[in-house]
Structure 1
Amino acid sequence: MKYLYLLLMLTFCSITHGQSIIGQWETYDDETQAKKALIEIYEKNNLFFAKIVKSYSSEKDAVCENCKGTKKGKPINGLVIIENIKKDGDEFNSGTILDPENGKIYKCYLELVDNYKLKVRGYLGLSLFGRTQYWIRKE
């Protein structure tokens, strides 16, 4: 019986503490709740990044017209929109997020609500002034 209890505890701990933001996530329009994009979050050099794998709301060959610098005119599909996120306890922060619709870059933090829901917050200055979205893990 002790071994069964230990096995259950180890399984529970690995499930709750082993959750990762890495993977593919679907985003939805804030107003219509229509599926907007498929995003892939990946890790590189202990930092997290996200790119648009597929945009459902723009044309296949759409480019980021409003972006600045090296991202101006780049295809939406494949565009890196989250950069340099650091893991900090249960949050992932200190990075930036790009809104390809207006080309603006905001501070960003991510928080895994559960293994299937990711809180994404983009903000200016203090985190009080911004927008929160919830992304759903693609199965």
Structure 2
Amino acid sequence: MKNFIGILLVLFAFAKAYSQDITGTWKTIDETSGIVKSHIFIYEENGKYYGKVLKVLDPDAPETPLCANCDGDFKNAPIEGLVIMKDLVKKGKTYKNGTILDPENGKVYDCKLWLDQNNSDRLKVRGYVLFLYRTQTWVRLK
């Protein structure tokens, strides 16, 4: 009986680890200063994943931060509430084939996300153009 309970506990632990996904609220952290810059809410809609800025926390940001360097419909749009990640599709353990907008420079990059294999509360976020890329680590807000 003890073995059976032990096996069940192990199975539940593996099920929980594999059921982790990227939905929820994440803190973006500046790699250089370590300052939390924003909270991003990632959600799933019709099989695709999106990320919306909930709150800008950067102490250097204006009271109402705008996407001043953005083009088109995003030009001077409030950053809070802005959907900056679009159309990511889950393929295995990776979320890809989507885009991410950097509100600081107004540029849109191809995007790929994956959970840190050692800590599912850490999300790797990669924006890239061809062979040039930048990867940030976001931390799940609990």
TM range (shorter): over 0.9
Deviant stretches of 4+, over 4 Å: none
Question: Secondary structure at the residue paired with 1:39?
Answer: strand
1:35 aligned partner, one-letter code: V
Counterpart residue number, 2:124? 119
Counterpart residue number, 1:65? 68
Give the distance between the partners of 1:112 and 1:72, measured in 2 at CA: 31
Counterpart residue number, 1:44? 45
Question: Secondary structure at the residue paired with 2:81?
Answer: coil
TM (norm. structure 2) is 0.92
Q: In the TM superposition, what is the alpha-carbon distance from 1:13 to its structure 2 partner?
A: 2.0
Q: In the TM superposition, what is the alpha-carbon distance from 1:73 to its structure 2 partner?
A: 1.5
Counterpart residue number, 1:81? 84
Counterpart residue number, 1:34? 35
Two-structure CA RMSD over aligned residues (Å): 1.1
Number of corresponding residues: 137
1:9 aligned partner, one-letter code: V
Q: In the TM superposition, what is the alpha-carbon distance from 1:72 to its structure 2 partner?
A: 1.1
1:54 aligned partner, one-letter code: K
Cα offsets for 1:109-128 (capped at 9, x unmatched): 000112210000000013xx
Q: Which segment is superposed worse, 30-39 or 54-63?
A: 54-63
Give the distance between the partners of 1:81 and 1:60, measured in 2 at CA: 19
Give the distance between the partners of 1:87 and 1:40, measured in 2 at CA: 17
Q: In the TM superposition, what is the alpha-carbon distance from 1:89 to its structure 2 partner?
A: 0.2
TM (norm. structure 1) is 0.93
Give the distance between the partners of 1:103 and 1:120, measured in 2 at CA: 17
Cα offsets for 1:76-108 (capped at 9, x unmatched): 111111100000001000000100000000001
Q: In the TM superposition, what is the alpha-carbon distance from 1:56 to its structure 2 partner?
A: 1.1
Cα offsets for 1:1-45 (capped at 9, x unmatched): 342133113212211111010000001112111110011000111
Cα offsets for 1:46-74 (capped at 9, x unmatched): 00000110011222312111111111121
Counterpart residue number, 1:20? 21
Give the distance between the partners of 1:62 and 1:134, measured in 2 at CA: 23
Counterpart residue number, 1:6? 7
Give the distance between the partners of 2:47 and 2:62, measured in 1 at CA: 33
Percent of counterpart pairs with the same letter?
40
Give unpaired runs (5+ residues) of structure 2: none
